[in-house]
Amino acid sequence: MNALDFSLILLVSSLAAGLLGALSGLGGGVVIVPLLTILFHVDIHYAIGASLVSVIATSSGAAAAYVREGFSNIRVGMFLEIATTLGALVGAWLTTRVPTHAIGIIFGLVLLYSAYTALKQHQDIITQRPDPLAMRLRLKGTLPTGPDTHEDYVAQRVPAGFSLMSLAGILSGLLGIGSGAVKVIAMDQAMRLPFKVSTTTSNFMIGVTAAASAGLYLRSGYLAPALAMPVMLGVLVGSLIGSRLLVRVHVRTLKIVFAVIIVVLGIEMIVSSLRGAL
């Protein structure tokens, strides 16, 4: 196969990944690595590099919209980014040390877990209890809940949230994913922030976290230009189209479809790793 055909195939598959990711809200980045390693037999390090690049592209593209809506909390995001970026450095370092089949198994498990959390129903537990640490760090805000109404919130259990964010960062650096799911859990479950705040803040944090490990990846030679090029462009275009179409689709159905795909890929990653075929 020559470079043109290969690039075109990658472009189209990445576009599909980005499209489905944006429509289901789960992010296309998470399927890039399985796609590249299982279908195209790309070494996992190159795959992770390409995936991380597409994560930065799509999240930075979408992030601007979220901040404008007034839901995301920049201070919360920035404070937690200390945890995620440090975690990302650790994760990127780990990726150079951990054997490929172990990365594959961890990746598969993360995929299965993402599918599970994507489908779980959710309930906001908003609290205004003035958690002392949160108050000192000003991790609080107001969520517009209607044309004239709003709801105040204060973050809770800051150390737990911080630790979970470090884990999100490590996974992002190790696997080349956005770790949006873990970030949302940290803010939503651990820190009791309103769901809309958690999801939008997570979205704008993802790009920064990915940039932290991307620098290391580039210096370690993990970014193959001819591979990253069609993947980045494909996922970017796919997710832009997807976010345009978002109003017209039934998100729940797509979430289920995407979750099924992720489960299949997750199992495949684990099986391939155990067989040493990754």
Residues within the interface to another protein (CB under 8 A): 1-7, 40-46, 53, 56-57, 60-61, 63-64, 74-75, 78-79, 81-82, 85-86, 88-89, 92, 137-138, 207-208, 210-216, 218-230, 232-233, 236
Query: ∠ CA 37-26-245 to the nearest 5 degrees?
Result: 110
Nearer residue to another protein within complex by CB, 73 or 115: 73
Residue 126 vs 224, nearer CB to another protein = 224
Smallest CA-to-CA distance from 245 within 60, 25, 7 is with 25
Quick one: 82 or 257, whose CB is closer to another protein?
A: 82
In angstroms, the CA 251 to CA 247 distance is 9
- CB-based contacts of 64, cutoff 8 Å, min separation 6: none
Nearer to another protein, 129 or 138 (CB): 138
Q: What is the largest CA-CA distance in the chain?
A: 62
CB of 219 to another protein, least distance (A): 5
Q: Give CA separation, 180 vs 121, 148, 201, 207, 229, in Å.
A: 17, 30, 10, 10, 23
- DSSP code for 248: G
Judged by CB, which is closer to another protein: 208, or 262? 208
Q: Which of 263, 269, 125 is nearest to 193 (CA)?
A: 125
Find the shortest distance in angstroms from Cβ 211 to another protein: 4
The Cβ of residue 92 has, within 10 Å, a number of other Cβ atoms equal to: 26
In the complex, least distance from residue 80 CB atom to another protein, rounded to whole angstroms: 10
Q: Sort strands 150-154 and 140-144 into parallel, antiparallel or unpaired.
A: antiparallel
Nearer to another protein, 96 or 145 (CB): 96
The CB-of-171 to another protein minimum distance in angstroms stands at 16
At a CB cut-off of 8 Å and minimum separation 6, what does 219 contact? none
In the complex, the smallest distance separating the C-beta of residue 246 from another protein, rounded to whole angstroms, is 17
* In the complex, least distance from residue 203 CB atom to another protein, rounded to whole angstroms: 11
Q: Which is closer to another protein, CB of 13 or CB of 213?
A: 213
Query: What gap in Å lies between CA 48 and CA 37, rounded to an integer?
Result: 9
